[in-house]
Amino acid sequence: MQGTDGVITFTEGLPGFEACRQFVLVASPSLTPFKLLQGVGDGAPSFVAIDPQLVDRNYVTPLERADLARLAANSDRPLLWLALVTAHDDGAATVNLRAPLVINPGSMLGIQLIAADSPYRIDHPLAAA
């Protein structure tokens, strides 16, 4: 099942939001460096995301062959990596570098990698620019 008209399909959903499987990615100069991952449909969730390499320039998370297959991707095509941002009541924000979203722009399929043994945190502090 592949997205059309800019719709990204997360065939397994996102943890906690499994019922919403289709999203569009909204980018705007007023949002930069962030992007908005907006669920399709009434009451669908939306998430603020950022390129994880903007948070940690050495960021690297390996993709297994099974992950590439889930994305209908091969290793020679670029993929889009995003980390979800969480705002806190005290005005601070954190980034989930442990479980990034990976999107194949060619197939419009996405997954959220969940690596238990990742060196990255789910609540990495987001420094103000």
Q: Is the pLDDT of residue 27 over 60?
A: yes
**What was the pLDDT predicted at 119?**
93
**What was the pLDDT predicted at 3?**
41
User: For 7-125, which CATH class?
Assistant: mainly beta
Extents of the domains making up the chain: 7-125
**What was the pLDDT predicted at 129?**
58
98: amino acid identity, one letter: R
**What was the pLDDT predicted at 1?**
39
pTM: 0.90
Tell me the per-residue pLDDT of 55-88, one tens digit each, with 9 for 90 and over: 999 999 888 999 999 999 987 789 999 999 999 8
4-28 average pLDDT score = 91
Distance from C-alpha of 76 to C-alpha of 79, rounded to nearest angstrom: 9
**What was the pLDDT predicted at 21?**
95
Cα dist from 57 to 63, 71, 77, 127, whole Å? 18, 24, 21, 13
Confidence of residue 2 (pLDDT cuts 50, 70, 90): very low
